[in-house]
């Protein structure tokens, strides 16, 4: 008998019918001889609706009270799911994050899990019960207040529970069939990956692939929890996210895992920055104080004798106003000439652990973009990833060109089934 | 400085605008120099909607899971109210029943408060904060599970907190101006009572007056917590529910507090019951096993020589099927001839502590009904109450006749303002 942790997202539990379908899948897993712990998100758009309600009441909701409010969402779905499983004849009990022993930092709205004390879950499992755990939430032990983990936190809850309970697998149920070599909405010939390493998945996620959040993959890598990403609608085998050795590495494995893209970033260019030591530091210290996450940075080679240079960096579009304010506030110390923002950019990334041992990947990547007529504006690389910034309007053809150049297209175009929720 | 516990019901916090209005009232109370603890119900129809959702998922929701589900309702309203008060510049924090130290029995769905450990609330008050507490919920300490107190439980939460904190008053805000001498929808000349004793209020509540639940009044009486029932819409002085000595008792106080009515009961008549010792006991033992609460009982005087009698009793209409099943299951032991159910009954009750020291109240009551052409089918009395069962169709004219006979009508008919929610 093995222990399986399953996680169901909001679209998998959007209404009563969906909840009953999830209940039947849990019951199937129990009946095939497994112990099961389930993590569940809030139903459908509940979280967004609660956020809207808070903003109807006040422009500046308190973080502590916001967490109390939002955790009502998982409270509803976890109770209903436990009822639905019970009514199928399998005993189940629902537990809040605090009851499940999920201990977090004190940062309301973006707490991090620091420990899991799963005693209560273990007792439930020992009694033959399915434990249903609210995702996305935990306890700040010092103040005994509930916290939330931020968007995508339910995946992290599931992985953290799997690690603490020594589960054999953490199954993440979603509305797609798994992790694909590219977004199938842009590349219809994209293939579902049977396996992907933690490192590749981390880079895919950080490069715009939406299927898993980076922090969840990071947690899984740290505790070596195998993740199985699969559809709650189709029941097909999905994608396994595993250690590099388990992911294979034999001759037949592709060098490249996939192509990711991201249209959510903007570029800020700071012109006329004095080309002296410390300029860049002052600039990015100002941005860091505004709590803005920066992705790529490019500093132009200084033109001879001008003594000034331009610095460009990319960041989430939503953070642009904060970043601009921070830079303008420190304008004198930084000493730049101008500021320009560009929202019309896209990022294409090629990810694959096989890059490490294969030369020529970058050359092939750039050639593919050139042949497709896509201009490259910025470049960054890591040992398993190359990312470039292009015009947003060129993003889709860039993704398709790279996908084809690296032989990632399926022969006849796999039938890609998106989930039944129509979203 | 005094400590005020305020309770706001679902219609007082039905939407964001209503929540902001309640927040302003709390802030006013703080600014006039009081410490304030607020108990809040779920917004509008939230509880009913959650119950409906549960029944969409399963026909037989677990009691433990149902409590987890329903407590999400107060979680939402308490967080939003704390935010709204904070945004008015007064610090506020929300607490669940368990966080507020409300300890209950283990009966999910109908738990009773057994203790309140208000340490955390006292710390918040000492820090100058308004404590917002979820009504209707508490903690089963043994299992560390949340429980609910059943309908009307938020009033009880408020009174229990007021008792534990030694509050000067427990203000129950509702959508009417206070407790009236009769339901103003039936008796437009009903008067708002300035004061009523715990005993009278208990009998009013038990006789169909909806404004307070009996258990809440019982709790207030036990700990001598003054309750002030008032409107969250008008701001008028409402009705004080207090001890008999405080309620007055001087010559000018009326003998009668009010007239209550109830259309929610049915009558079951068991005919041909052997007129021997033990018959009634067997009958009511059967009904008790079905967990049915019985109100009035009448046994006919046995006609000479027949050796059998008829027994009638009243009970909530919703309990009729359970009661009939229980009686039929024990038919042989009870040995009756027939069973008849009558849903078309009404109950009129006259309540007043002054009855104890005034003779002639019953005679005047029966005369008023006779003059109005209302037939009496059953009678029960206590030291401060007389109740009769009539045809349901005669109920309203019976209430009006009795109200007038005891000089309860206001001179010009007070303007009775029902709340702004339209319900």
Q: What percent of chain B shows pLDDT beyond 70?
A: 93
Note the pLDDT of residue B246: 59
- For residue A47, the chain B residues in CB contact (below 8 A) are none
Question: Residues of B with CB below 8 A from A58's CB?
Answer: 83-84, 86-87
Q: How far apart are CA B385 and CA B361, in angstroms?
A: 10
Instruction: Name the residue of chain A whose CA is nearest to B46's CA.
Output: A76
> Which of the four pLDDT bands, split at 50, 70 and 90, describes residue A415?
very low
Question: Residues of A with CB below 8 A from B16's CB?
Answer: 53, 56-57
Closest residue of chain B to A56, computed from CA coordinates? B16
**Can you tell me the distance from the alpha carbon of B71 to that of B108, in angstroms, rounded to the nearest whole number?**
12
Calculated CA dihedral for residues B160, B162, B164, B167, nearest 10 degrees? -170
CA A327, CA B41: separation in Å to the nearest integer?
A: 47
Q: What is the DSSP letter of B13?
A: G
Residue A420 pLDDT greater than 60, yes or no: no
Closest CA to A208 of A397, A361, A399: A399
| H or E element that contains A37 | strand A35-40
Question: Angle at the Cα of B315 (from B311 to B317), degrees rounded to 5?
Answer: 125
Q: Which residue of B has its CA nearest to A134?
A: B68
Question: Locate tokens 């009174």: which residue?
Answer: B159
Pairwise CB contact (< 8 Å): A16 & B53? yes
Angstrom distance (rounded) from CA A172 to CA A227: 7
> Lowest-pLDDT range, A205-209, A338-342, B6-10, B30-34?
A205-209
Nearest beta carbon to residue B72 from set A60, A76, A144: A76
**CA A152/CA A112 separation, integer angstroms:** 12
CA–CA gap between residue A402 and residue A409 (Å, rounded) = 10
Residue A12 three-state SS: helix
By Cβ distance, the residue of A64, A72, A79 closest to B65 is: A79
* Nearest beta carbon to residue A65 from set B19, B53, B79: B79
User: How high is the pLDDT of residue B422?
Assistant: 30
Give the pLDDT score at A421.
Answer: 34
**Which domains are seen in chain A, by residue range?**
3-175 (3.40.1160.10)
Nearest C-alpha in A relative to B22: A57
User: Per-residue b/e over A73-112, b at no fewer than 16 CB within 10 Å?
Assistant: bbbbbbbbbbbbbbbbebebbbbbbbbbbbbbeeebbebb
Helix (H) or strand (E) holding B3: strand B3-8
Contact B62 A86 (CB under 8 A): yes
Answer yes or no: do A87 and B57 touch at CB < 8 A: yes
Could you give the 3-state DSSP secondary structure of residue B135? coil
Residue of A nearest to B86 (CA): A62
Distances from the Cα of B161 to the Cα of B41, B136, B219, angstroms: 14, 12, 11
Residue B356 has a pLDDT of 83
**Confidence band for A418, pLDDT divided at 50, 70 and 90:** very low
Best mutation target, A27, A75, A137, A147, to test chain B (most B CBs within 10 A)? A75
pLDDT at B420: 35
What are the tens digits of pLDDT across the range A313-335?
A: 999 999 999 999 999 999 998 98
Please answer whether residues B108 and B72 qualify as being in contact, where contact means their C-beta atoms are separated by less than 8 angstroms: no
Structure tokens at B274: 């052997």
Q: Look at residue A220 in the predicted model and tell me its pLDDT.
A: 96
ipTM of model: 0.82
Mean pLDDT of chain A: 91
Sheet bearing A345-351, strands edge to edge: A258-262, A345-351, A385-391, A378-382
Cα separation, B273 vs B290, whole angstroms = 20
Residues of chain B contacting A143 with CB distance shorter than 8 Å: none
Interface of A with B (CB under 8 A): 16, 19-20, 50, 53-54, 56-62, 64-66, 68-69, 71-73, 75-76, 78-80, 82-84, 86-87, 93-94, 96, 99, 120, 144
pLDDT in tens, chain B (423 residues): 699 999 999 999 999 999 999 999 999 999 999 999 999 999 999 999 999 999 999 999 999 999 999 999 999 999 999 999 999 999 999 999 999 999 999 999 999 999 999 999 999 999 999 999 999 999 999 999 999 998 789 999 999 999 999 999 999 999 889 999 999 999 999 999 999 999 999 999 989 888 898 899 999 999 999 999 999 888 789 999 999 875 555 545 678 999 999 999 999 999 998 888 788 888 999 998 888 888 888 887 766 667 888 899 999 999 999 999 999 999 998 889 999 999 999 999 999 988 888 878 989 999 999 999 999 999 988 889 999 999 999 999 999 999 999 999 986 545 444 433 332
Tokens (6 digits) for B265: 């009961």
Interface list for chain B against chain A, based on CB atoms closer than 8 Å: 16, 19-20, 50, 53-54, 56-62, 64-66, 68-69, 71-73, 75-76, 78-80, 82-84, 86-87, 93-94, 96, 99, 120, 144
In DSSP terms, B382 is beta-bridged to B385
**What angle separates helix A279-289 from helix A320-329, to the nearest 10 degrees?**
130
Phi-psi region of A379 (alpha: psi -120 to 50; beta: other; left: phi over 0): beta
Q: What are phi and psi of B116, to 5 degrees?
A: -130, 125
Indicate whether A58 pLDDT > 50. Answer: yes
For residue B140, the chain A residues in CB contact (below 8 A) are none
B50, B64, B83 member nearest A58 (Cβ): B83
């Amino acid at each position: 008998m093995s222990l399986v942790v399953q996680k169901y997202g909001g679209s998998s539990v959007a209404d009563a019918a969906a909840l009953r379908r999830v209940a039947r899948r849990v019951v199937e897993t129990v009946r095939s001889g497994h112990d099961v712990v389930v993590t569940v998100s809030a139903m459908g758009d509940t979280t967004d609706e609660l956020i809207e309600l808070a903003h109807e009441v006040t422009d500046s909701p308190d973080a502590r009270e916001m967490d109390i409010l939002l955790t009502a969402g998982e409270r509803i779905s976890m109770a209903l799911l436990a009822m639905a499983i019970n009514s199928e004849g399998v005993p189940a009990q629902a537990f809040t994050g605090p009851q499940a022993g999920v201990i977090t930092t004190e940062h309301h709205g973006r707490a991090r899990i620091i420990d899991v004390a799963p005693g209560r879950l273990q007792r439930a499992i020992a009694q033959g019960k399915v434990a249903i755990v609210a995702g996305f939430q935990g306890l700040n032990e010092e103040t005994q207040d509930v916290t939330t983990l931020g968007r995508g936190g339910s995946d992290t809850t599931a992985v953290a529970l799997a690690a603490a309970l020594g589960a054999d697998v953490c199954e993440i149920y979603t509305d797609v069939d798994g992790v694909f070599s590219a977004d199938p909405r842009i590349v219809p010939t994209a293939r579902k990956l049977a396996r992907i390493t933690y490192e590749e998945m981390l880079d895919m996620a950080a490069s715009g692939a939406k299927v898993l959040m980076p922090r969840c993959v990071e947690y899984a890598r740290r505790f070596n929890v195998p993740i199985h990403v699969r559809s709650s609608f189709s029941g097909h085998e999905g994608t396994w996210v595993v250690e590099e050795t388990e992911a294979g590495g034999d001759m037949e494995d592709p060098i490249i895992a996939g192509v990711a893209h991201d249209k959510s970033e903007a570029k800020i260019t700071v012109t006329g920055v004095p080309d002296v030591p410390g300029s860049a530091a002052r600039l990015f210290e100002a941005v860091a104080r505004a709590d803005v996450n920066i992705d790529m940075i490019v500093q132009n080679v200084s033109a001879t004798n001008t003594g000034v240079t331009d610095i460009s960096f990319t960041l989430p579009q939503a953070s642009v106003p904060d970043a601009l304010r921070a830079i303008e506030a420190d304008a004198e110390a930084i000493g730049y000439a101008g500021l320009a923002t560009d929202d019309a950019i896209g990022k294409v990334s090629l990810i694959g652990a096989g890059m490490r041992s294969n030369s020529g990947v970058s050359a092939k990547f750039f050639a593919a973009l050139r042949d497709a007529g896509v201009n490259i504006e910025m470049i960054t690389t890591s040992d398993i990833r190359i990312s470039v910034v292009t015009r947003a309007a060129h993003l889709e053809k860039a993704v398709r060109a790279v996908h084809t150049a690296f032989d990632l297209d399926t022969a006849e175009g796999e039938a890609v089934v998106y989930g039944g929720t129509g979203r």
